[in-house]
Structure 1
Amino acid sequence: MYIVEHTSDDFNDISSKVDTVIIPIGSVEAHGHHLPLGTDIFSPRLFCENINKKIGDRVWIAPEIPYGQSYDLSIYPGTVTVPSEVMAEYLFHVCKSFYKNGLKNIVFLNGHGGNITSLSLAAEKLVDLGAVVMTINWWMDFSKDILTITEGQGHGGEDETSAILYYNESLVQMAKATKNPNKQLYPVRFKERGKTIFQDAITGDATLASKEKGEKIFNLLENKIIDRINLMEQGKYFE
């Protein structure tokens, strides 16, 4: 159920039985020369649409948060970046309002790696209120599953490009798809990271992408995401 499509009275009645909210979170950011700036928005959006079809009577879906932390890619045209601490504070207050409205289970369905620090900071403060918070970074959490479908992964690479081809292939300019073989040797940040590791705002090989691979990714992962939501609602956090 999409929150914004219901009245306040509807929300009050339904929330006596539904206490889980999914918040799709993305970024406006360069993804090579071939993908739209909204790539990290579109993947969580489609996951939410598919999840809504399957378990929409059990979960609320909040409006997406389109902006994120994108320092490394901010050198490329069209990228919008928000400092991690600012984004974390914003997310905390949004989710604090949901919690006060009776939604104790909060799911961050994240489409952008730069947001992870902000989501962790917000989650720490929300847990202190009594909320249960789960962050799903779809390309990272289910990497092994994705690699049964694609040869590789990357920012604007084979997996992300396939995902957007499936979402809306008219948004993808495959003739401009390239590959960037540069791989980070270990977790490190430095000033020229955006120009080197993310050369041309891409990592991996986008030329290997296809709409069919994107469909397989979504069909496989949406069920795994639903499985996690089921466990969360049951209060099963460990074994």
Structure 2
Amino acid sequence: MTQLAEQTTTAAADTLEAADVAVLPTGSTEQHGPALPLGMDHMAAQAFARTAAEEKNAADDDVSAVVLPTIPVGVSVHHRQFDGTLYVSEETFEQYVTETLSSLAEHGLRKAVVVNGHGGNGGALRRTARRLRDEETAFAPPWNWWDAVDDLADDLFDEVGGHADAMESSLLWHVREELVVPDELEAAEAGASEGWGETVHGAPIGFDTIDFTETGAVGRPSQAAPEKGEKLFETGCDRLCALIDWLAERSLEDCWSREHR
């Protein structure tokens, strides 16, 4: 069993002592157009985290990972005009993740990978990672699944994308098929923008998603297919496992900030 929340405190003591790396899924609960559920981002992060940890714990390489409870609400204020979107401020999200990982460190596990499913969380997670490292509390680099598979996505899709696009739609179609509405992919694309944001003479003016997309989608979701999602998921899991291995082998001393020379 690799999920901390499903264990008793007695079992958790042994799990945390044996674990090399914790995996913390983070995401959002926000609009993803008419074809995808609100929980797309945190569901994707959770699927990557759980599958990668299971693969590591089943492998014969002495690297153990434990999955922390998913943080399902993130920095999504820019989606607020669409029904169902929940959000917290960057400051709240950053503090919550920081304190969660700090509490884990009190139990002796000071290495973690934050498996992130939502781009809006990026700034807060980088600040969290830097703060925890500077204080030598924990080393917790954020891992965005779409960055890990961008080369494969370029081969699979003809889109700039960015939100509820073919890449996200394909991934969730594979991970949670029952939650995708394939008949709405064309409608999502009909009101979508080609890329993220809007600028006028070099100045960004698309502060909210509704400023540049009618459906909430960005990209070409009609190109989605579950087979493509399977390729994305397998590749992402392989690369997340490799990151867990790298972190497990790295000493804490090598994780901390270097002194000025």
| One of 119, 143, 146 as aligned partner of 1:139 | 146
Aligned to 1:170: 178
Q: Percent identity?
A: 25
Q: Any gaps of 5 or more consecutive residues in structure 2?
A: 59-63, 256-261
| One of 148, 151, 155 as aligned partner of 2:155 | 148
Task: Tell me the secondary structure at the aligned position of residue 80 of structure 2.
Answer: helix
Larger gyration radius, structure 1 or structure 2 = 2
CA contact 1:28–1:66 (8 Å) conserved in 2: yes
Aligned to 1:87: 93
Task: Tell me the secondary structure at the aligned position of residue 75 of structure 1.
Answer: coil
Q: TM-score, normalised by structure 2?
A: 0.84
CA contact 2:78–2:208 (8 Å) conserved in 1: yes
CA contact 2:117–2:144 (8 Å) conserved in 1: yes
Deviation for aligned residue 1:191? 5.7
Q: How many residues align?
A: 238
Q: Distance in 1 between matches of 2:198 and 2:56?
A: 41
Structure 1 residues 55, 72: closer, same or farther in 2, change over 3 A?
A: same
Task: Tell me the secondary structure at the aligned position of residue 200 of structure 1.
Answer: coil
Q: Any gaps of 5 or more consecutive residues in structure 1?
A: none
Q: CA offsets per residue over residues 5-50 of structure 1, 9 Å max, x none? A: 2222222223223131100001000011111000001111211232
Instruction: Report matched runs for 1:1-239 at 5 Å.
Output: 1-56=2-57, 58-130=64-136, 131-152=138-159, 153-177=161-185, 178-179=188-189, 180-183=192-195, 184=197, 190=205, 192-235=207-250
CA contact 1:150–1:213 (8 Å) conserved in 2: no
Q: TM-score, normalised by structure 1?
A: 0.91
CA contact 2:198–2:212 (8 Å) conserved in 1: no
Q: Runs of 4 or more off by more than 6 Å in structure 1?
A: 185-188
Q: Distance in 1 between matches of 2:38 and 2:171?
A: 14
Q: Distance in 2 between matches of 1:115 and 1:136?
A: 11
CA contact 2:29–2:73 (8 Å) conserved in 1: yes
Segment of structure 1 superposing worse, 185-194 or 114-123: 185-194
Structure 1 residues 195, 211: closer, same or farther in 2, change over 3 A?
A: same
Deviation for aligned residue 1:53? 2.5
Q: CA offsets per residue over residues 91-124 of structure 1, 9 Å max, x none? A: 1111100011111111110000011111122222
Deviation for aligned residue 1:192? 4.7
Q: Distance in 2 between matches of 1:224 and 1:107?
A: 12
